[in-house]
A and B are shown apart, each in its own frame.
Chain A
Amino acid sequence: MPRFEHVYVLNIMSDDHPGIVAAVSNAIEDLGGNIDSCSQTVLGGYFTLIMIVSLPEAVETGDLAGRIRSSESLGGEYQVVARKGLVSRRAAPADGTERFVITAFGKDQPGIVRRFSQYLAGKDINIVDLYGDRREDEFVLIGQLELSKQWDIRMLQADLEQMGQELGFTVKLQHENIFVATNQLRLTGQG
């Protein structure tokens, strides 16, 4: 649940340097608001931050973005997008879904992410986390997926492997618990 009544989603992108989070959070505090949740990542020297904030008083999204953009210590080029948030959109997985991980490795070429994501979209499969990296000539794609129990895993695996073969990629689709079990202290993911 948000701390205050008026919920906003902020997206901040910038070249990476120290002080961005401090500047953004200062701006939120100046508005008397609260950061309800946030997630940040840095990729290729670029910083991106998504944040759910709640404020006691409603503000225009353009004003909110402007307040953050003009926050003093933000330097260099950056972009801020603010939207009105919906209280009900929580990140709880839908009922009857399980988390699976798709991994694909192979010689890089344009269209890899498109091919796989189009296939998943066609099956209404949600990607909850995505990672891709080009190293030398190789491309690695890792997606964490929410899969409805209606799908037969073997059929999805067969499709994905076939697609991988056409692209010269090794593709695997595996339940997330194998990664939890082999890396974390508990045997299986919660829930």
Chain B
Amino acid sequence: MLRTDEILSTIHMLHAEHLDVRAVTLALNVDDCAAPSVDHLCRKLHSKITSRANRLVEICDRVGVKYGIPVINKRIALSPVSTILAGHGQAAAVQVARTLDKAAAECRVDFVGGFSALVHKGISQGDDVVMNSLPEVLSKTKQVCASLNVASRKAGINMDAVGRVGHLLLKIAEATADQRGFGCAKLVVFANIPEDNPFMAGAYMGAGEPEATVNIGVSGPGVVCSALKRRLALEPNLTLGDLAEEIKITSFRVTRVGELIGREVAAELGVAFGIVDLSLAPTPEVGDSIGEIIETLGLACVGAPGSTAAVALLNDAVKKGGLFASSSVGGLSGAFIPVSEDATLARAVGQGQLVLEKLEAMTSVCSVGLDMIAVPGDTPPETLAAIIADEMAIGVINNKTTAVRMIPVPGAKAGEVVDFGGLFGSTPVLEIRNAGASDLFVRRGGRIPAPLQSLGN
């Protein structure tokens, strides 16, 4: 029999602190959709996605109702389309993307990921098609998300690919200039891309995964922040160790909710349950912010000295609680710091408290990287590429996933506020210091070799 205090504490977490399941992502392998004719390929793709995913939204809603937990986002993640696009051209890529957009709309999911290419060691013909088509794909579709893996622990950093991405970002931004370069928000550039990430825009289904699987992203930072504030209201003198413990306990409970819902959705869909991703993903809503957690830990503003340590504490405690709650943890599993999607981070950028370099330092101890940052539209492509290269180096050397989702906003200067709408939020444009000073380094191209596996200091 359940105890009354257990019921009350869960009710408090669900209703006062707005616990939810952030994302249920159905991952699907679509390699078998390959065909010599593009029309046939697209028909197979449409049929496969709609037949496997048409019940996803309904099932998520029904399971959500049963437990009293809303499932906010329902998504589809595919195996990289670069595989099925091999042997085809750019027109085919756009047709495939439009097919994905249509299938996603029919299944009523909010995004479909997997317009992806893995180019950490080199660029194949299919990868090349994917990369070249990105400006058109991301400007002409609504729900298609793209990702590129340009670096890995075992391959090093493909600087030819990184250099190309610098130019690509400007082209995508230009193609979506009427939306302030929003197309770039649907492209994530990775080092060590996870194969089972449920979070967009970077979700795709990696090699070694089953035919279909359900991956879960748990609730946002709001629950953790409320738990900390509640404890601190009762005992203002708690140490950082005490607060880490509180985060750990909250993470345990949040993860359990994800696991419970995920297993049931997977069973009802008749597919394997994949993983729970422990990541705390903020939203622009007040109170659902990683920045606010950092400030609750005792910093007057995020970006102040101590911010990296605070993020490290948070990220580690979340993992410790989550790992005990679920035996199938995967994906990114850390704390995200997407600037435009986190009202406190965006405020700190606007007030000059949080700068690019500090943000980069913070990404070295959390997931996932420089996320949803707006930069001036006239930033040179080599500088954009060099920002990516720096972030990739953090991932490759520290054996972790890092990523960049950066929007060079056409016509915007540092400090100007841009609004991407809805969950993507708004942010002031970051100042890029030393713009134009990285050209030669990036233009040299080639591959930064894979790092040493020992002597790890």
Contact = CB atoms under 8 A, between A and B. Distances in A.
Nearest to B254: A182
A142 B7 contact: yes
A173 B1 CA distance: 17
B62 to A, nearest CB: 8
Given A131-B4, A144-B1, A183 B68 contact: no
Interface majority SS on B: helix, strand, loop or mixed?
Answer: helix
A84 B307 CA distance: 69
B423 interface: no
B1 A129 contact: yes
A182 B2 contact: no
B286 interface: no
Interface string A169-189: 010111111111111100110
A178 B4 contact: no
B256 interface: yes
B10 A175 contact: no
B65 A154 contact: yes
B9 interface: yes
A183 B4 CA distance: 11
Given A144-B1, A177-B260, A183 B65 contact: no
A182 B10 contact: yes
Contact of B67 (A128, A178, A184): A178
B67 A175 contact: yes
A142 B10 contact: no
Contacts of B452: none
Interface string B233-268: 000000000000000000001001101100100000
Given A103-B7, A153-B65, A178 B260 contact: yes
Contacts of B263: 187
A187 B256 contact: yes
A174 B4 contact: no
Contact of A179 (B7, B65, B66): B7
Contacts of B7: 101, 103, 142, 179
B231 interface: no
A34 interface: no
Contacts of A188: 260
B40 interface: no
Interface in A117-154: 128-129, 131, 140, 142, 144, 153-154
Contact of A174 (B3, B9, B66): B66
A157 interface: yes
Contacts of B68: 172-174, 178
A150 B254 CA distance: 30
Contacts of B67: 174-175, 177-178
Contacts of A131: 4
B3 to A, nearest CB: 8
B230 interface: no
Contacts of A103: 7, 11
22 contacts: A103-B11, A128-B1, A129-B1, A142-B7, A157-B65, A170-B15, A172-B11, A174-B66, A178-B67, A178-B69, A179-B6, A179-B10, A180-B2, A181-B257, A182-B6, A182-B13, A182-B257, A183-B2, A183-B9, A183-B10, A183-B253, A188-B260
List the 3 shortest-distance A-B pairs measured between CB atoms, nearest first. A174-B68, A183-B6, A181-B256
Given A182-B257, A188-B260, 10 more contacts: A142-B7, A144-B1, A153-B66, A178-B68, A181-B257, A182-B13, A182-B256, A183-B6, A183-B10, A184-B6
Interface of B: 1-4, 6-11, 13-15, 65-69, 253, 256-257, 259-260, 263
